[in-house]
Amino acid sequence: MTNTHIQEKLDKKEILKLFKDGCKPAVEHKIGIEYERLPIFSVTSKAADYSSEFGVCNFLRNFAKEENWDYITDDYNIIGLKQGHNTITLEPGCQIELSLKPEFMIDEIKNKIEKLNKEMACVLDKFGISLLNYGVSPFSTHKSINLIPKKRYHIMAKYLWGILSDVMMRETAGIQCCIDFENEEDAMNKFRVANKLVPFMTAMFANSPIRGGVETGYKSFRALSWLNTDNDRCGFVGQIDDRFSFEEYIDYVFDSPMIFINRESGAIPLNGKLNFSEFIDNGFEDFSANIDDFKLHANLYFPEVRLRNFIEIRNHDCSGKGLQYSILAIYKGILYSHSAMNEIEELFKTFEYPDFSELRFNVPKSALNAKIGKYFVKDIAKEILYIAEKSLIGLDTGEEKYLDAIKEYTLNGITPADVIIRNWNGLWNKDVRKLIKYVSE
């Protein structure tokens, strides 16, 4: 329906400004992390719920009181906490996510996470909750995991059409890395290289082979769930094109179906009836598009690499034992060095978009044993590590030490999932409690 109330269409220049405002000098470039973990009740091994006496809501309430954090609420329900630029928020199935203010050094991020872990541990222990460094719920499945009372998640759950979208929303936990850019050209170079790196990084950090108490046959069941969530808004943006621009990225976001908009009266479902371009041109019922609608819609777009006023690299299973910092170190070493990015481009020069696309579909099952063209991922992964390490050594910050955790796996041609599978079928004798103990450490 054409909206007769539109006085002035939302201008793409206003949207472009959102991205251009992220440009900053290289000396100001930092690195950020979003770090999700799975909460379980220690005694039962079941996923911790939101609303019970010892559930996650009351954990947040008690932690806020003890450590002086402020509530983040949705219709009076506590859905997270904030303190300065740091947040502790809940994903749809109660996954607990730390989103920390970006820092220049990985040391600073590690120190903040360790401090927060120590503070949270005191309250978590009282509630009998453990946080797992693992990519998918090891015991409970989505059928027994309720969505938290956040309206957005309930609308999303009804809309997302992939056969594993409920698994993605309720069962999975990942780690995202955030990177700055200097200008549009720098952003696009980093965006392109990051997209090419993602399938290899997903493989290297695969850490979700056991789900619902059984071995799934996949090394990253979490990555599989994203392949089966909603192909209109997941995957690569475009074809990893060399000529990509802010405007072309925005056009891809514009073309994806809209899920809902927010107004004072609450959330209004659109359920894919139109895309954002159509919303700008014609409105929806009595509503016209504004900049906040675009921000929401762009946030409901879930590509492997998401462009904002920074670059968000998304597809890594949650992992611990220092691996969470290895993720940051690899991206910092490569994406903050022109020579390292050139070396990665040279490494990948024989591969084209269909190769990367096919690899994305093969990695969840085979991880490092997948092939791209005639090459094994495990051999290319070693080269990626070598390039990142050489670059970090050149920075002279000592951050190459953060690669040690992943080198133990990749240089031996294995992933965290391979170690879990070996123990699952050996020492652990398929005992999910032993898996949980292992990924709690």
Rounded mean pLDDT, 198-213: 98
Confidence of residue 20 (pLDDT cuts 50, 70, 90): very high
Is residue 99 within a helix (H) or strand (E), and if so which, with residue range?
Answer: strand 96-99
| Residue 113 clears pLDDT 70, i.e. is over it | yes
User: Could you give the percent of the chain with pLDDT greater than 70?
Assistant: 98
Beta bridge partners of 368: none
Cα separation, 98 vs 120, whole angstroms: 11
What's the confidence (pLDDT) of residue 155? 96
Q: How confident is the model at residue 197 (pLDDT cuts 50, 70, 90)?
A: very high
Q: Strand pairing partners for 306?
A: 312
Domains of the chain: 12-440 (3.30.590.20)
How far the first Cα of the chain sits from its last, in Å, is 56
| Cα–Cα dist 205/197, whole Å | 12
For 242-266, what is each residue's pLDDT tens digit? Answer: 788 999 999 999 999 999 999 998 8
* Cβ density class 151-179: b for 16+ within 10 Å, e for less: ebbebbeebbebebbbbbbbbbbbbbbbb
* pLDDT(6) > 70: no
* Dist CA 28 CA 25 (whole Å): 6
| pLDDT category of residue 51 using cuts at 50, 70 and 90 | very high
Q: Provide the pLDDT for residue 5.
A: 46
| Cross-strand pairs, 41 | 129
Q: Looking at residue 241, what is its pLDDT? A: 79
Q: Kindly state the percentage of the chain with pLDDT values over 90.
A: 95
- DSSP for 181-214, please give it: -SSHHHHHHHHHHHHHHHHHHHHHT--B-EETTE
Comparing C-alpha atoms, which of 234, 236, 205, 199 is closest to residue 219?
A: 205
pLDDT at 28 over 90: yes
Long-range contacts of the stretch 98-102 (C-beta < 8 A, 24+): 98/33, 98/34, 98/35, 99/32, 99/33, 99/34, 99/35, 100/32, 100/33, 100/35, 101/32, 102/30, 102/31, 102/32, 102/178, 102/180, 102/310
Reported as a single tens digit per residue, the pLDDT across 212-241 is 999 999 999 999 999 999 999 999 999 987
Mapping DSSP to helix (H, G, I), strand (E, B) and coil, where does residue 252 land? helix
Q: What is the pLDDT of residues 270-312, one digit of tens each?
A: 999 999 999 999 999 999 999 999 999 999 999 999 999 999 9
Residue 128: its pLDDT value, please? Answer: 98
Mean pLDDT of the chain: 96
Give the single-character DSSP code of 315: E
pLDDT band for position 100 (cuts 50, 70, 90): very high
Q: What is the pLDDT of residue 3?
A: 44
Is the predicted pLDDT of residue 1 greater than 80, yes or no?
no
Q: What is the pLDDT of residues 361-417, one digit of tens each?
A: 999 999 999 999 999 999 999 999 999 999 999 999 999 999 999 999 999 999 999
* pTM for this prediction: 0.97
DSSP class of 304: S
Confidence check: pLDDT of 2 > 60? no
